[in-house]
Amino acid sequence: MANSLWELSESYSFDHVLYHHDILGSKAHVQGLAEAGLLDAEECQLLLETLDQIEAEFDRGTFIRADADEDVHMAIERRATELAGDVGAKMHTARSRNDQVATTLRLFTLDALAGVSAATLDIVGALIEVGVKFPGAYLPGYTHLQRAQPVLLAHHLHAHAWSLLRDVDRLGDARQRMDVSPLGAGALAGTSLAIDPAFTARLLGFNEAFANSMDAVSDRDFVAEALFDLAMLGVHLSRMGEELVLWTSAEFNFATLGDEFTTGSSMLPQKKNSDVAELARGKTGRLVGNLTGLLVTLKGLPLSYNRDLQEDKEPLFDSVRQVLLVLAAMTGAYRSMSFHVDVAKAAADEQFLVAIDIAERLVERGVPFRQAHERVGRLIADAVTRDVALADIVAEQPDLSAFADLFDPGHAVRSRTSPGAAGPVAHGRQLVQLRAAIAEASARLS
């Protein structure tokens, strides 16, 4: 083989991380061959022990790649033949690297996504902890990044928690759909030998075996779906990152991250930068890129296996790794965060954030909402043109004398009482729902 082709096509350099799942697949395959009478009990036992030994070599870091090992699958088979002789050479009976790699990658992805789900539940836990640590804290809620209405800090953070729980749910759905064993599909068309794909599927803990051998070896929709779910999770983390960047700026000054979660500047001694949040924001580019790249690779591929499919691995490995890095660091950052309760409160008690409460109290008196809205609009315009506090303008109105309490600090957030709203009463109910959703997600994961 030309050196340039070798360098183009070898995948051991990145797919060796699949060794554990590949050996799992091979052990099931070997037992399937014994079940089919293609290996005797002694041969089966020898191969299982040999595979365990090879796994131990990988675990210890003593496995040595031979020059001709193109990928992890060939490396393991070559080593098995070295160790077990002719019996090793029987291991690939009724199997192709095409069904082998598809099996290995499904097993890997199932585990990897479970790990991401667990780490996502950790950050959800950290968001809840922050809310508990600053009970009653509130801040302005924004639309268009303009102050809109006060919201409880916990309510704000739990908005992210709900997004992340949907990510966990999506990862669970993807895992359920990919829980199908391709082993036994062979190169593309199955085999004349009497193997039973359902038997090996059961041994590997898959829900079921493939129904169509060509589909089994040729589709990587499960990788694309994993990459979408990881990208979506990354997009959520990027929004949280952007928020932390804003909150920790001098302009907002709502929060500070613990020293161990900030970095200094090589030039400016006073700097305390929220790099963790910026990287959470920045990593998303490659997560989206990995998804797009694989979709383009898959587009237009004829049935069944094509070597293009080898391009599924690096994006998957990269997205899993990057998401895990961001999740761990952001979880730590939230746990280390101090929330500047008084600064946020002062911003949220800004008088115009009470405007809707004035209108809603008029509605309670029977004023049609549009008319109430218009009247409050006029009061605000008056406050702005005369440069007088809105509370004073309202106090000047004879029929609004009972409205003074609306301007009490925290009144506006306390009166957000409708189901799912941003105030403390509704929040208590939400917390119960949130904890139930977390328990359900954890149960599905285990």
What residue ranges bind ligand ARG (CB under 6 A)?
11, 71, 97-98, 101, 305, 307, 309-310
Q: Are 36 and 193 in contact (CB under 8 A)?
A: yes
Instruction: Sort strands 138-143 and 146-152 into parallel, antiparallel or unpaired.
Output: antiparallel
Q: Are 32 and 199 in contact (CB under 8 A)?
A: yes
Q: Which is nearer to ligand ARG, 39 or 102 (CB)?
A: 102
Q: Please return the burial class of 310, using the count of CB atoms within 10 Å of its CB with bins 0-12, 13-18 and 19+.
A: middle
Place of tokens 């040595």: 64
Strands (E), 41-124: none
Run of H or E including 339: strand 338-339
Catalytic residue among 9, 13, 265, 401: 265
Report the nearest approach of ligand ARG to the CB of residue 47 (Å). Answer: 21
Report the nearest approach of ligand ARG to the CB of residue 191 (Å). Answer: 15
Residue type, 33: L
Catalytic residue among 4, 144, 192, 266: 144
Report the nearest approach of ligand ARG to the CB of residue 305 (Å). Answer: 6
DSSP H helical segments within 178-220, as ranges? 197-203, 213-218
Q: Please return the burial class of 146, using the count of CB atoms within 10 Å of its CB with bins 0-12, 13-18 and 19+.
A: exposed
Report the nearest approach of ligand ARG to the CB of residue 216 (Å). Answer: 13
DSSP-derived letter for residue 68 is T
Is the Cα torsion angle 223, 225, 231, 233 positive or negative in sign?
negative
* Long-range CB contact pairs, 148-151, < 8 A, 24+: 148/353, 149/353, 149/356, 149/412, 149/416, 149/422, 150/348, 150/349, 150/353, 150/410, 150/412, 150/413, 150/416, 150/422, 151/348, 151/413, 151/416, 151/422
C-alpha to C-alpha distance for 444 and 442, rounded to whole angstroms: 5
Q: Which is nearer to ligand ARG, 66 or 346 (CB)?
A: 66
Report the nearest approach of ligand ARG to the CB of residue 425 (Å). Answer: 56
Q: Which is nearer to ligand ARG, 11 or 331 (CB)?
A: 11
CB half-sphere exposure, 289, CA atoms < 13 A:
8
Report the nearest approach of ligand ARG to the CB of residue 208 (Å). Answer: 23
Q: Which is nearer to ligand ARG, 307 or 365 (CB)?
A: 307
Q: Please return the burial class of 439, using the count of CB atoms within 10 Å of its CB with bins 0-12, 13-18 and 19+.
A: exposed
Report the nearest approach of ligand ARG to the CB of residue 25 (Å). Answer: 12
When computed from its CA atoms, the radius of gyration of the chain, rounded to whole angstroms, is: 30
Q: Are 280 and 240 in contact (CB under 8 A)?
A: yes
Q: Is residue 265 among the annotated active site residues? A: yes
Q: Which is nearer to ligand ARG, 7 or 49 (CB)?
A: 7
Q: Which is nearer to ligand ARG, 39 or 101 (CB)?
A: 101
Q: Which is nearer to ligand ARG, 216 or 406 (CB)?
A: 216
Q: Is residue 11 among the annotated active site residues? A: no
Enumerate the active-site residues. Answer: 144, 265
